Amino acid sequence: MQSAFRPRSLWRTGILGTCFRSRFQVYGGPNTRFISTWKEELHEVNHDTNAPLSGRVHILGMGNLGCFFAHSLATRRSPPPITICLHNDYLYQAFVRKRGQISVSTHGLDDVRTGFDVETVDEEGRWYTMPPVDNRPLPFNSEPPPDNGPIECLIICTKAHHTELAIKDISHRLTKDSTICLVHNGMGVLDSINQNVFPDPNNRPHYIQTVFSHGLGRNDSFKISHLGVGTTILSPVGNPNIPPTTPEADHTWAPSTKYLLRLLTLTPPLVAVADTPAGLLQYQLEKLAVNCVINPLTALSDCTNGEILYSFSFTRVMRLLLFEISAVICALPELQGIPGIEDRFSPERLRRLVVNIASNTAKNHSSMQQDINQRRLTEIEYFNGWIVRRGEELGIKCALNYMIKHLVAAKAATHRSREAGAIPLDLDNVISTNEPPI
Ligand SMILES: CC(C)(CO)[C@@H](O)C(=O)[O-]
C-alpha cells in the first residue's frame, strides 16, 4: 500500500529548501538530520520571532493515529513536551489504568512510552491539566486549575466526520498563530472547518494537511500495532494569494507551522516528508480514489480488501465507479495547469492503484467495513459524497457514486433500526385484520 503513495523526497521538492538549508550548515549534512533535538528545532524557529514558542505539541483524538503520533514523538532522542487531550472521562480512566503508557507493537515486540501530559475537558468546555497519571490525585478540596491557555501546535487525529466538532470544542484555545495538523482520510473537512469554526480568514489558525499510509491495528486502548510501514506526507496549506511552488511561499509560514513541520519530518517512525500543497493534493486525490472503491465495496459486501479482486462483478463496479471519479478529478479547477493530470488520474491508472493497494492489504478489513460492523459513523460523505458534490459543481453527474453513498448509508441505517428493535411500518398502508380482503 505504501509504495502506491510514495512521495517525492523533501529535498527534491525544494519547498522546504530555505528552511532546511540552515540545518545542514549547523549540523553538517542530511545524514545527521535525525540527531537534532526538539530544542534545536525550536531555537531555529524562535530566533526569527518576538513571541517565542514553548514547543509543546497537543494531540487530540487518541485512536490508532493519535497513539501512533504521540508514541512516535516520544521515541525521539529528546521528545518535545506532548499533551494528549482526552475529551471524556472514560478515556481518561482508561489512560489512568494504563498508567500513562502508550504502546506500539512492531513484529510482536511492544515498545512502551510514558511522559505524556494530559488535559481533560469539563461539561462547560473548559480544559484542565491533570496530575501525572502515575502520581496520587490532587487533594479532594483543592481548587481546580484555570482553563488552559492557547495551543501552539495541535495534531488532530479524529475521523473526518468528528474533526469539525472536535476542533470546535477547542477552538477558543486556537489563535491565528497556532498550527493545526489534520490527519484524516477523505476530502472536504478543511472547507467546513473554515466555514463553520473559523469564518474570519484574518483570525484563522494555520493548517498542515497530511496523507498518512502506515498500516495500524488496535490491540487495546492506547495499545496499537504497526502493521505496515508507510509514509506521512505533509504540506502547509498555502496562502491562496502566493503560488504554492514559489520560494516566497515559505516566508509566509507561521513559526508554529515551521516548528511542527520540522519536528514531524525529523521524527523517524513517521517516515514524514513535506511536499507542496499542489503535490499533496494529488496524493490526497489518489488516496481518495482508493478509498471510494475499496471502502464501500468491502463494507457493503462485508469482505476483506483482497476479496474484491477476484470477481468479475466487483471488477465491473470498480471500473464504472472509477470512470466517474477520474472525470471529476481531471476537471477540478485546482489541478488545472499541472502537467500530466489526465495520465495520473486516468481510470486505468486509478484502477491499477486500487488493485495494488487491495492486494497489498488483502487480509485487512477496511476502516469502513469495521465502522459499519461496529455501528460507527462512516466517512462515506468525505469519500464518494465528496465526488458527487464536486461533480455537481462541475456539471458531471456521478450516479454510481451517488448510489454507492446511499447504499452505505442504507446499510448503516438498517443496522441501527434492527438494533433499536424497530420494525419499519408504513402505517397508512397497513391493512387492518377487520377489513375485508381487497
Ligand atoms: C487501504 C484502505 C483503503 C483499506 O484498508 C485504508 O485506507 C482504509 O481502511 O481506509
ipTM score for this prediction? 0.95
Which stretch, 19-33, 134-148, 372-386, has highest mean pLDDT? Answer: 372-386
Residue 241 — very low, low, confident or very high, per pLDDT cuts 50/70/90?
A: low
Residue 425 — very low, low, confident or very high, per pLDDT cuts 50/70/90?
A: low
Is 294 near ligand 1, meaning CB less than 6 Å away? yes
Report whether pLDDT(10) > 90.
no
DSSP category for residue 156: E
**Which of 216, 364, 382 to mutate to test ligand 1, by most ligand atoms within 8 A of the CB atom?**
364
Residue nearest to atom 10 of ligand 1 (CA): 367
Is 36 near ligand 1, meaning CB less than 6 Å away? no
Buried b (16+ CB within 10 A) or exposed e, 185-214: bbbbbbeebbeebbeeeeebbbbbbbbbbb
SS3 432: coil
Closest CA to 183 of 10, 64, 330, 97: 64
- Give how far the C-alpha of residue 190 lies from the chain's centroid of Cα atoms, to the nearest Å: 11
Residue 238 — very low, low, confident or very high, per pLDDT cuts 50/70/90?
A: confident
Residue nearest to atom 5 of ligand 1 (CA): 366
pLDDT at 431: 53
Per-residue pLDDT of 73-111, as tens digits, reads: 999 998 999 999 999 889 999 999 999 999 999 999 999
Report whether pLDDT(248) > 90.
no
Closest ligand 1 atom, residue 365 Cα: 5
pLDDT at 45: 82
pLDDT at 230: 95
Per-residue pLDDT of 282-320, as tens digits, reads: 999 999 999 999 999 999 999 999 999 999 999 999 999
Tell me how far the alpha carbon of residue 367 lies from the centroid of ligand 1, in angstroms.
6
CA 248/CA 103 separation, integer angstroms: 41
pLDDT at 351: 98
- Over residues 391-396, the mean pLDDT reads 98
pLDDT at 50: 73
- Over residues 218-238, the mean pLDDT reads 94
Per-residue pLDDT of 124-155, as tens digits, reads: 888 988 887 755 455 445 555 556 789 999 99
Q: Are 325 and 346 in contact (CB under 8 A)?
A: no
- Over residues 336-347, the mean pLDDT reads 96
Helix (H) or strand (E) holding 356: helix 347-360
pLDDT at 216: 93
pLDDT at 424: 59
Is 378 near ligand 1, meaning CB less than 6 Å away? no
Report whether pLDDT(361) > 90.
yes
Report whether pLDDT(40) > 90.
no
pLDDT at 2: 37
Inter-axis angle of helices 384-394 and 277-301, to 10 degrees?
120
In sequence order, the 6+-apart residues with CB closer than 8 A to the CB of 374 are none
Whole-number percent of the chain with pLDDT over 70: 82
Higher pLDDT, 243 or 256: 256
pLDDT at 143: 52
Q: How many CA atoms lie within 13 A of 306 on its CB side?
A: 6
Q: Are 329 and 390 in contact (CB under 8 A)?
A: no
pLDDT at 135: 57
Is 291 near ligand 1, meaning CB less than 6 Å away? yes
Is 305 near ligand 1, meaning CB less than 6 Å away? yes
**This prediction's pTM:** 0.84
pLDDT at 126: 87
Residue nearest to atom 7 of ligand 1 (CA): 291
- Over residues 6-13, the mean pLDDT reads 37
CB neighbours of residue 152 within 10 Å: 24
Higher pLDDT, 368 or 425: 368
Whole-number percent of the chain with pLDDT over 90: 71
Residue 6 — very low, low, confident or very high, per pLDDT cuts 50/70/90?
A: very low
- Tell me the average pLDDT of the chain: 86
SS3 117: strand
